Chain A
Amino acid sequence: MSDRFSVEGNVVLVSGGSRGIGRAIAEACRDAGAQVVVSARSKAALAETGMAHRVCDVANEADVVTCVQSVLDEYGRIDALFNVAGVNFRHAAETFPADELDKIISINVRGSYLMARECGRAMIGQHRGKVINIASLHTHESLAGVSAYGTSKGAIGSLTRALAVEWGAHNVQVNAIAPGMIRTEFNASLWENADLRSWVEDHTPAARLGLPADLVGTAIFLASAASDFLTGQILYVDGGFSAGSKWPLAVPS
């Protein structure tokens, strides 16, 4: 195979890289030969990854600026940014606490924006770069009780397109991965709920929850030259969830 999917030697920064989806993406890039730096708020969780890391709260502008600059100082460039850091709180919209709304917006939206801003400036200088945001099924449709998170992920769709338009001429591609229902080690308890689990399995044509490992092929595709003419796109990696509804009854034989 040519080097179309190669990320070997590339400098890849993954926010929210200490666990879950971010960790899986970071490990896949590392295994493919990239120089990976993971960032997160917890130093202990970062140390446990065994990867190069930076403590960084993406809600804190000074943290973001310092984190990106120190990666540039050490590696000389950033080829790809994965904006994975994110939080979710679920409440009825009519009583949603403002402090939790603020956290969701400041981490999911403002944090992704600031990370992209800092890395994007370097990428424009390099005349080359990939920003990969984590969108959601909520970017495309809504569920009750998740209005703040849904709002933030709708914004990620807009951010993805806006940066793609603005930075296209600088050869910086901006795309997003929209995972379907993904089981990670820290949301596993949610999926213990049998009703919820069967609802997802019935609504997902692939008839199963996704795993972080299901996203890594798309992550490498979007970080590599294979996707150089794709920009402003949201790739739904959801087992067919957003393609349409699965008929819940057995197919007559």
Chain B
Amino acid sequence: MQGHDLFSLTGRLAVIGGGAGSIGRSAADVLLRLGARVVLFDITEDGLTSAAAELAPVGQVTTLCGDTRKKADIDRLADLTKSMGGVDILVNSVGVQRRMPLLEATPDDLDFIWSVNVAGVFALTQTLIRQMVDKGYGKVINLCSIGSFVGLDQKTMYAISKGGLLQYTRSAAVELARFGVRVNALAPGYVDTAMTASWIHTPEHEAEYLPRIPLGRYATVDDLKGTFAFLASSASDYITGQMIVIDGGWTIW
């Protein structure tokens, strides 16, 4: 079926930064199902072990434990992917946040969030895109947020970092297009995960947020899979520098 060939990832090697987390796992799951080999890179060994166990029935998964803020760890990852034929797809789903009133936040809080959400993504990408440039083809997919373009109460530092990541997506896309490397982003609203459940499912937050969402519910990690697959595949080859918002319509009105 031609329609399906557009979405095939057979022969591709994908790296999922933050691959042990819920969103990283969902990206890994769908890319594996489309035929890619996947390397999960994450800071938690336990998380990687459980993610690898969960994904092993789906396809070929390799894991590497490391920190995107440490050059030696990134270099180990680059050596690994090089030995596997070079990376074609990089999903940057490493991210942290600190929810706190702005009046209580310190520059150190911002430094921490920036070091992971922007500087870490930048460093990891900066190293791995060289393997894409060598191939003349590649796909970078950054995990932005609706906080990339709307203000977030008590999450200013997170919003700053995701706004920065959006501008990184655009500028890198403009510059790397000449090498065949596409850089795009995915921007969810609230995603229903173990990390967010205690916040988004309180009666007051459901009353506040759900009426704002035309499709009437929070995203599940499954809702992101189609867009991960689309941006990773040749179906989106003429798209670069774009952010696809998956928020059920939350921010369109």
Q: Which residues of A contact B (CB under 8 A)?
A: 1-2, 4-8, 28-29, 31-33, 161, 164-169, 171, 173, 180, 205-207, 210, 214-218, 220-221, 224-233, 235-240, 242-246, 251
Contact = CB atoms under 8 A, between A and B. Distances in A.
A51 to B, nearest CB: 15
Interface of B: 1-4, 6-8, 30, 33-35, 169-171, 173-175, 177-178, 213-216, 219, 223-227, 229-230, 233-242, 244-249, 252-253
Contacts of A230: 227, 244-246
A215 B6 CA distance: 11
Contacts, number: 167
A169 B216 contact: yes
A218 B227 CA distance: 10
Contact of A239 (B177, B225, B230): B177
| Interchain residue pairs A-B with the least CB separation, the first 9 | A243-B241, A32-B3, A168-B214, A217-B235, A226-B226, A205-B177, A232-B252, A214-B238, A229-B223
Contacts of A4: 30, 225-226, 229
Given A1-B33, A5-B4, A5-B229, A221 B177 contact: no
Contact of A165 (B170, B174, B253): B253
Contacts of B253: 161, 165, 232
A207 B178 contact: yes
A235 B252 contact: no
A246 to B, nearest CB: 6
B150 to A, nearest CB: 14
Contact of B242 (A1, A228, A235): A235
Given A217-B235, A226-B226, A243 B248 contact: no
Nearest to A2: B33
A164 B213 CA distance: 10
6 contacts: A5-B226, A8-B1, A217-B237, A226-B229, A233-B244, A243-B241
A166 B242 CA distance: 25
B226 A221 contact: yes
B174 A244 contact: yes
A226 B174 contact: no
A244 B239 contact: no
A160 B176 CA distance: 31
A244 B171 contact: yes
Nearest to A5: B7
B226 A168 contact: no
B214 A231 contact: yes
Nearest to A251: B178
Contact of A31 (B1, B225, B239, B241): B1
